[in-house]
Chain A
Amino acid sequence: MKVQDAIDTCIQCGFCLQSCPTYRIFRTEESSPRGRIARLKDVLSSAVEETAENLATFEECLGCRACEAACPSGVPYETILLVGRSRLRALQEPPPAEARLALRMVRSHVLLRSAQRLWQTRGNRALRLARGLRSQRSAARLMAALPAPAEVPAVPREARAQAQIHRGCVMDVVWPRTNARAVLLLREAGLSADLMPQSAGCCGALHAHQGDLPTAREMARQVIAAFERSGGETVVSLAGGCGAHMKTYRELLADDPDWRERAERFSRAVEDVATLLDRQGYRTRPPATDERITYQDSCHLRNGMKVQAAPRRLLAGDGYCEMEGAGTCCGSAGIYNLVRPDVSDVVLEGKVREIERTGAGTVVTANPGCELQLRLGAKESGGRFEVRHLVDWLWERRA
């Protein structure tokens, strides 16, 4: 959809306001989805000057897309957000250093690996390398919240498996165990499953969300090609952010005649691991009353992929307790917690309060970014709860 058409879909009813984490913090129209849409409209019509200051609100946006779920008129907000961000990026010379660094890192498995080793051996001292970055402190906090490396179960290869798990970038380095467990769970659930070749690489969501669409397209082509080579039928995502982005490849490559149809086919094949397990009727030992758990939605899984019920069905039991505002963002939002810790921390504080109000000892989520953010929240608030990826929780409770 053209951005002008997307903007015109908004009739300014304001139903999005309370769904927006930044509006709830700043209480000003400029920090709301409706205000952002009006701002881009003003910029495009030259009613307002196109400056970095006037587009800064698109960087402030978490991109959680909760507003899309709240919108009765069906405004494709993400289209508007991406245009706002790419125009902002064009005005920022050079773009923020931490964004550049993060975008560079996730494209290289080797770089990520080395960074991980450096951190494991040198700890905080490793971050001296990143001296001068505004986000040095927030990076250190996040690194400290990372899980310790764990033994990865052996996964016998399966040629031309039907379900191909997209490994992801950070996921593949920090949570390889979760990826492996997902394969085994899917096989237990009766599917032929395996990991997609590492050559698929990162899905490019961060690049698209940071407004670097050319790179995002290049990365999309790489993922599609790797999947096609694998001979699989389903692309399985363990990260709501990646899954939702891969679902948009068809729009991302819509103007590319060589790739349009391949992207269309690919996007249709993307499924979240929870959807597959639920559809296969996979069930584990339900949580008992004294093992209270709760679930935090991944924004993009919920609002982008519209997967909301499946993970909850997999977690159902007497000990399950729905959290107030489970569907609102935790403040992770890609690399948002790295570049805007000021806003992210306020969002996280509210989230920790809600988790604690449920009395749950474990909060389950379905996206590595959310998991890391919630681990940070748990650690800094005194550790009254643990955080698990849905796959890990299911694995640990196999019947």
Chain B
Amino acid sequence: MSSTDLLGSGELLRELARRFGPLCLRQPAKVRLYGYDAMGTAFGVPLAVVQVEGQQDIQDLIAIVGRHGGKLVARGAGTGLSGGAVPRDGQVVLSLERMQSVSRPDVPHRRLRAEAGVVNGSLDAILRPYGLFYPPDPASYRVSTIGGNVAENAGGPHAVKYGVTGHRVAAVEITDAEGQAGLLTAGPWQGGLDLAALVTGAEGTLGVVSAAWLALEERPETTVTMLMSFAEIAQASACVSAIVASGVLPATLEFLDRATVAAVERWGVAHYPEGSAAVLLVEFDGLPQEVEGAAAAAEEIGRSYGVLSCEIARTAEERDALWLGRRGAYAVVARYGRRVLTQDVTVPRDRLTEMLAAVDEISTRHGLQAVTVGHAGDGNLHPDFAYDPGNREESERVHRANREILEACVALGGSITGEHGIGTEKLGQLEIMLGPAELGLSWAVRRALDPRGLLNPGKAVPEAPRTEPGGGDAACAGGLAEAARAIVAQVAVARRERRRLSVDDGALRGIEVSLANMTVRVGAGNTMAELQAVLRGEALGFAIEPLLAETFGELLLTNDYGPEEVAQGTLRRHLLALTYVTGYGEVVRFGRDVVKNVAGYDLCRLLIGSRGRLGVPIEMTLRLVPRRETAWWSRRGTLEDYGGARGLERLFAVPEGGAHRLYLQALTPPGGFTEAPEGPEVLAGLRRELRQRETLLDLAVPWSELERALGALGHPPLLLLPSAGRVLARCDKETAERLAGSAGPPAAASYQGVALRTAAGELATKWQERLQAVFDPDGILLGGDGP
């Protein structure tokens, strides 16, 4: 450190102490306690720790640190497993521990605002009285914070059914690297790029999230937890694949090997059957009739794979004991050695057996014993090595084996990290999975949003040069590689000739279904109807049934959805991977054919709702979900009448007299509804009507704004999706602009298929412009402010 640096840090310290008083910790003994996380091997001594209490504190801290050329690391509870919140010597730690406020849940929208320091596990007691819950449950959920969960895009056992943190973040309140604060929304009220998806998992490198709006679920009525034990690992993993392929969707499907089971026994919190090579912890939740059937089916499948025993937890205490054992698995492994190197590989579900075999082969070859647990239902495995960092030779073997396991995972089409993040730990390993084009683009995004490199340097994405236009490996588009190359060539021409790019997506077609992985790859030019035809008669289907979009490309670019939004959310919950050509001319593929992937920035979901501003989609991988036996019901009344219905599948309303007729699809109807087999026909009729885009306003606003918007419209809309607050109506342009201009944030609006400017925040607008400059430096793409 040079003398000027020392002088500078002295001034920085004084200014921090002046502004933050006792909330600025600077004594060496105190700041050292913010130098680690749960990975246990990374350590740095921060210059100071500031415990912020609100967004203004964060803005001021960024301004002060920025003025003195310092660096800032945001930290929650310090329970990360990749070093994401570990400072380097001399950096300033921004601690969010004191940001503890939680809103009352917004029941109709099933949303909750929680500040960054709120502990994930504390939400349950708050939500229980409302019959709601927040599904993401990383093993650390009892101690980890919402801010940390968002920064690392935390997963957990329940992701197999309910998705990861990223799927649950409806909006974030964020302060960016330049100290500008704002709200970034996702889902129905997004009104632009999915910036919330970009921020989630970005490890605090793009901004400091001070609060998140979380999408909740209705609490299942019944939960059954089963513990199945097997004599062979291969039997257990085959059983996993069979359960997944059978179309019953478990809430969790966890795998623990013999060594983990033995260590959990030593902890003494749970009694897992001894003498088995592997156990599966399987949970089903939902309505009683569904759960019983699913559990029986799983047990039957288990029997055909030679299950040794199948215990069913009958009480909440028994269930908690089973789970406590699983959740402590990472630290429990420390009973085998002084430190634990835990991995987080994720492969397509049908490659799980191969991945387990590879782990076994590699660790044996290096003279190591891997202790493996994992979210088998997601294809996400945590092989752990307990070792002594003081033993150099052993440490080297551990790290060599680690790298080989990552390479094996990538070769199987997987991701090197499903939920722990890149942090410092995997920064040098991201190149195993992402090519130069993806790395270059990621770094360009980071530079565009944090030009000074103020926030959490050395995490999440490595510094990498941008590839030349035409770079990237078109082979990542699979069967559409030729089409991708053709589009790259068209981009080059458009850029040279400085004219708008016009793409015919007719060639971008090809459907590959993988029932065993519960995914499908589709071309951007494929239509919804084409996929439906392919999946006819299968137990699985694609969840989103958009009202307006006909092709998958349109679906992606407009973030369209239908009445199923109430249960299935929007596309962001279902898009796993995306290949596209940027306006700069790279072919890139972000995401993998896996449900969990936190390797680098999410430049896959970012394109949802981008209306062609960033690139041309080529093909994508989508999640498939089990179909359920349901019926349609209806009732005439007010919008409030639907609230709280369990097991709701689809919901829409059409005007009828002065009120509405509510149609909903459910296994059992809420009170007062009668069977309405005409529901699908009514919906089909509305879709035909909506295809006529002329004078069509498409507006989505929060529930609290909905009545006001309907009043301002002055006449009944064609269709309402109450849960999403989406209104489809005919009106003149002036009315449409007036409504959009007064709505939000958050809000999304378009008229005749063209996005309207809503009162969306300045921050979102600034970020959008910066990103457009990265992805489309010459402005050749459609979008922007429209034709």
Determine if A42 and B328 form an interchain contact, defined as CB atoms under 8 angstroms apart. Answer: no
Docked CA distance A42–B34 (Å): 13
Q: Number of B residues whose C-beta is below 8 Å from A? A: 40
**Contacts A8-B338, A48-B29 given; does A72 touch B140 at CB 8 Å:** no
Q: Out of B33, B121, B266, B340, which one reaches A74, CB within 8 Å?
A: B266
Q: Out of B34, B98, B122, which one reaches A29, CB within 8 Å?
A: B34
Contacts of B36 in A (CB 8 A): 12, 38
Q: Out of B97, B100, B144, B330, which one reaches A72, CB within 8 Å?
A: B330
CB proximity to A under 8 Å, residues B81-125: 95, 97-98, 100, 117, 119, 121-122, 125
Give 30 CB contacts A-B under 8 Å.
Answer: A9-B334, A11-B334, A11-B339, A12-B38, A13-B38, A13-B140, A14-B37, A14-B77, A14-B78, A14-B79, A14-B144, A15-B79, A17-B143, A18-B119, A27-B97, A27-B98, A29-B33, A29-B34, A29-B78, A30-B30, A30-B33, A38-B33, A39-B29, A47-B32, A53-B29, A71-B331, A72-B328, A72-B330, A73-B331, A324-B125
Determine if A15 and B98 form an interchain contact, defined as CB atoms under 8 angstroms apart. Answer: no
Chain A residue nearest to B340 (CB atoms) is A11
Determine if A18 and B331 form an interchain contact, defined as CB atoms under 8 angstroms apart. Answer: no
Contacts of B329 in A (CB 8 A): 72
Determine if A12 and B143 form an interchain contact, defined as CB atoms under 8 angstroms apart. Answer: no
**Contacts A29-B78, A47-B32 given; does A15 touch B143 at CB 8 Å:** yes
Query: Does B142 interact with chain A (Cβ within 8 Å)?
Result: yes
Kindly list the 10 A-B residue pairs having the minimum CB-CB distance in the complex, ordered from nearest: A72-B328, A72-B331, A14-B79, A29-B33, A73-B334, A13-B331, A72-B332, A27-B97, A48-B29, A13-B38
Determine if A15 and B32 form an interchain contact, defined as CB atoms under 8 angstroms apart. Answer: no
Query: Does A35 interact with chain B (Cβ within 8 Å)?
Result: yes
CB proximity to A under 8 Å, residues B600-621: none
Query: Does B335 interact with chain A (Cβ within 8 Å)?
Result: yes
Query: Does A218 interact with chain B (Cβ within 8 Å)?
Result: no
CB proximity to B under 8 Å, residues A62-108: 70-74
Residues of B in contact with A (beta carbons under 8 Å apart):
25, 28-30, 32-34, 36-38, 40, 51, 77-79, 95, 97-98, 100, 117, 119, 121-122, 125, 140, 142-144, 266-267, 328-332, 334-335, 338-340
Docked CA distance A18–B142 (Å): 7
Docked CA distance A48–B28 (Å): 7
**Contacts A9-B334, A72-B267 given; does A14 touch B32 at CB 8 Å:** no
Q: Out of A27, A49, A71, which one reaches B29, CB within 8 Å?
A: A49
Cβ-Cβ contact count across A and B, 8 Å cutoff = 90
Contacts of B122 in A (CB 8 A): 18
Docked CA distance A324–B78 (Å): 26
Docked CA distance A42–B140 (Å): 26
Chain B residue nearest to A9 (CB atoms) is B334
Query: Does A289 interact with chain B (Cβ within 8 Å)?
Result: no
Contacts of B267 in A (CB 8 A): 72, 74
| A 15-35 to B, binary, CB cutoff 8 A, 1 in contact else 0 | 111100000000111100001
Most buried by A among B32, B38, B40, B125: B32
Task: State how many angstroms separate the Cβ of A257 from the closest Cβ of chain B.
Answer: 30
Determine if A27 and B328 form an interchain contact, defined as CB atoms under 8 angstroms apart. Answer: no
Docked CA distance A321–B13 (Å): 52
Contacts of B334 in A (CB 8 A): 9, 11, 72-73
Docked CA distance A35–B97 (Å): 14
Docked CA distance A74–B28 (Å): 29
Chain B residue nearest to A306 (CB atoms) is B268
Determine if B38 and A11 form an interchain contact, defined as CB atoms under 8 angstroms apart. Answer: yes
Q: Out of B40, B95, B140, which one reaches A11, CB within 8 Å?
A: B40
Chain A residue nearest to B142 (CB atoms) is A18
Task: State how many angstroms separate the Cβ of B541 from the closest Cβ of chain A.
Answer: 40
Task: State how many angstroms separate the Cβ of B339 from the closest Cβ of chain A.
Answer: 6
Determine if B143 and A14 form an interchain contact, defined as CB atoms under 8 angstroms apart. Answer: yes
Contacts of B29 in A (CB 8 A): 39, 42, 48-49, 53-54
Contacts of A74 in B (CB 8 A): 266-267, 335
Task: State how many angstroms separate the Cβ of B144 from the closest Cβ of chain A.
Answer: 8
Residues of A in contact with B (beta carbons under 8 Å apart):
8-9, 11-18, 27-30, 35, 38-39, 42, 47-49, 53-54, 70-74, 324
Determine if A15 and B328 form an interchain contact, defined as CB atoms under 8 angstroms apart. Answer: yes
Contacts of A8 in B (CB 8 A): 338
Task: State how many angstroms separate the Cβ of A33 from the closest Cβ of chain B.
Answer: 11
Contacts of B338 in A (CB 8 A): 8
Contacts of B28 in A (CB 8 A): 48
**Contacts A18-B142, A39-B33 given; does A27 touch B51 at CB 8 Å:** yes
Chain B residue nearest to A27 (CB atoms) is B97
Contacts of A70 in B (CB 8 A): 142
Contacts of B140 in A (CB 8 A): 13-15
Determine if B40 and A12 form an interchain contact, defined as CB atoms under 8 angstroms apart. Answer: yes
Q: Out of B38, B95, B125, which one reaches A14, CB within 8 Å?
A: B38
Chain A residue nearest to B328 (CB atoms) is A72
Task: State how many angstroms separate the Cβ of B102 from the closest Cβ of chain A.
Answer: 15
Contacts of B328 in A (CB 8 A): 15, 72
Chain A residue nearest to B23 (CB atoms) is A28
Docked CA distance A47–B97 (Å): 25
Determine if A12 and B33 form an interchain contact, defined as CB atoms under 8 angstroms apart. Answer: no
Contacts of A9 in B (CB 8 A): 334
Determine if A27 and B100 form an interchain contact, defined as CB atoms under 8 angstroms apart. Answer: yes
Contacts of B331 in A (CB 8 A): 11, 13, 15, 71-73
Task: State how many angstroms separate the Cβ of A43 from the closest Cβ of chain B.
Answer: 8
Task: State how many angstroms separate the Cβ of B350 from the closest Cβ of chain A.
Answer: 32
Q: Out of B32, B97, B119, B332, which one reaches A38, CB within 8 Å?
A: B32
Docked CA distance A72–B139 (Å): 12
**Contacts A27-B117, A48-B28 given; does A73 touch B332 at CB 8 Å:** yes
Docked CA distance A47–B119 (Å): 31
Most buried by A among B37, B140, B143, B267: B143
Contacts of B30 in A (CB 8 A): 28, 30
Chain A residue nearest to B25 (CB atoms) is A28
Most buried by A among B25, B29, B51, B121: B29
Contacts of A30 in B (CB 8 A): 30, 33
Contacts of B33 in A (CB 8 A): 29-30, 35, 38-39
Contacts of B78 in A (CB 8 A): 12, 14, 29
Contacts of A11 in B (CB 8 A): 38, 40, 331, 334, 339-340
Chain A residue nearest to B93 (CB atoms) is A29
Chain A residue nearest to B34 (CB atoms) is A29
Task: Taking A11-B334, A13-B79, A18-B122 as given, write out 4 further A-B residue pairs in contact, using a Cβ cutoff of 8 Å, ordered by the A residue number.
Answer: A13-B330, A16-B143, A72-B267, A74-B335
Contacts of B38 in A (CB 8 A): 11-14
Docked CA distance A397–B97 (Å): 47
Most buried by A among B77, B100, B340: B77
Most buried by A among B121, B267, B334: B334
Contacts of A17 in B (CB 8 A): 77, 79, 143
Docked CA distance A73–B335 (Å): 6
**Contacts A48-B28, A48-B29 given; does A28 touch B335 at CB 8 Å:** no
Task: State how many angstroms separate the Cβ of A21 from the closest Cβ of chain B.
Answer: 14
Docked CA distance A38–B32 (Å): 9
Task: State how many angstroms separate the Cβ of B625 from the closest Cβ of chain A.
Answer: 33
Contacts of A324 in B (CB 8 A): 125
Contacts of A12 in B (CB 8 A): 36-38, 40, 78
Contacts of A42 in B (CB 8 A): 29, 32
Docked CA distance A27–B332 (Å): 26
Docked CA distance A305–B616 (Å): 65
Task: State how many angstroms separate the Cβ of B460 from the closest Cβ of chain A.
Answer: 21
Task: State how many angstroms separate the Cβ of B549 from the closest Cβ of chain A.
Answer: 44
Task: State how many angstroms separate the Cβ of B43 from the closest Cβ of chain A.
Answer: 10
Task: State how many angstroms separate the Cβ of B119 from the closest Cβ of chain A.
Answer: 6
Docked CA distance A72–B270 (Å): 12
Docked CA distance A97–B625 (Å): 68
Determine if B51 and A28 form an interchain contact, defined as CB atoms under 8 angstroms apart. Answer: yes
Task: State how many angstroms separate the Cβ of A28 from the closest Cβ of chain B.
Answer: 7
Chain A residue nearest to B144 (CB atoms) is A14
Task: State how many angstroms separate the Cβ of A369 from the closest Cβ of chain B.
Answer: 26
Contacts of A16 in B (CB 8 A): 143
